Structure 1
Amino acid sequence: MKKMLVTITLAAASAAAFAQGKVSLQNDPSCLYTMPTAPWRCAPQDQNLAGQPIPISGPLPSGAVLEVGLYGGTASTLLTLQTAVLLNPVGGSGAPWDGMPPATHVHIDGTPNSNGDGSLGMTGYVAGDPAYFQVAVWDSAYANPFIAEACMSPYVGFNHVFSMTPGTSIPYLAINLAGGTTWIDAGNEHPLILGIIPEPSALALAGSATALLFIFRRRKS
């Protein structure tokens, strides 16, 4: 009886796992996250790092700690944050290369925290369907990249929107590999350079509008 209960529990857990998508936020040496190319775009203390992969051993000389987030949605104009991780925290991130985040596994669920796994949720997502994604890097002093952009932070950047089908089995599919031709054709095999923002999508415009409203309200109060 006990063995049967264990088997049923494992089967239920497996079914729950396969009812969601799995992706891994990561990159490779061909698409490193990079400091602004022009020294004047960097904080004065960071100008010697211009054009170089973002160091991951700790905060920048200016003290800035950068965050990388994966946005996703069922449409390219309906992207919401799926996961975020610090790129250069105090003590370092432990990633293998400068300009790389620590590989971060993400469950893509239609409902936030549907399996108690802390997933942020992707409204309307059905396991096995393709989804749209975009990577953002920003100064973690700001709540999100849109506020960082609205405040004219030098440290904010996005790659291009791409599509992929999250895994429905055991492996977590790396976005830079499973993105396939959409990742390549969009130009995401090149470094993500801070300070370079692709043409705004509806999400970016909405995010910027929200950020500006937030800033306006703070100043007014």
Structure 2
Amino acid sequence: MHALHIQTAHFHFAPNASAEALQGLERAMKVIGRAGAELEPTTPQPAAAHTSLATTAKNDMNNSEIEQEIQAKGKTAPRVTPADIEANIVSEHFFTAQHGVSGAMAALELHQITWHPGGEGVLRLLTFCVLVLRNGFTVTGESACASPENFDAEIGRNVARANAVQKIWPLMGYELRSQLANTMPCTCVPNQGCSNCRPRPVLTEADAQADLDGTPRPDYYTD
């Protein structure tokens, strides 16, 4: 049931306020009082315990389960698979923020604004994962532990890697879509084509310089 909270109000009337106004106010306050007596006040309930991250993870479909469902439903069109993601990773690197600071200090390249005692203990709770892809591009993932007592190096690396892998999906999805778009049949004038359906050349330094100079790119298709 809804709770009604009545706060004491202070009314100030002019000396010449009519008797009818005072009587109307008195009647209104009696109505409010009866309404408050008829409503049963509610007792705040304790907040439910937070669902653990492990329980939440179990409720979410992971990449392997999604792939199994796709195969079970007979979806055979080109797509990015978990195997494609793993095959695109050529090296993996793990370290904590404490390791990064220590390495930068050793190389005399540390840039920091302030430092306070005990900072190293905080930095060791932040784990980084750097994945290097076949084309040389890199993606990163992080894992931060709120309670020092819960920190586990292996769990930190696993979580950081999973977060890094999630960043690869949109990159490879875009690359696959570009490849599919380049293979679409041309709908322009027969045997003429257009710049939208011709395969694009790889961007070169000469192309970049032409863009800066405001001139056409070398060997660039024009319609």
| Structure with the largest fraction of helix | 2
Greater per-residue strand proportion = 1
Structure with the greater alpha carbon radius of gyration: 2
> Which structure has more RCO (C-alpha within 8 Å, separation ≥ 6)?
1
TM-score (norm 1): 0.26
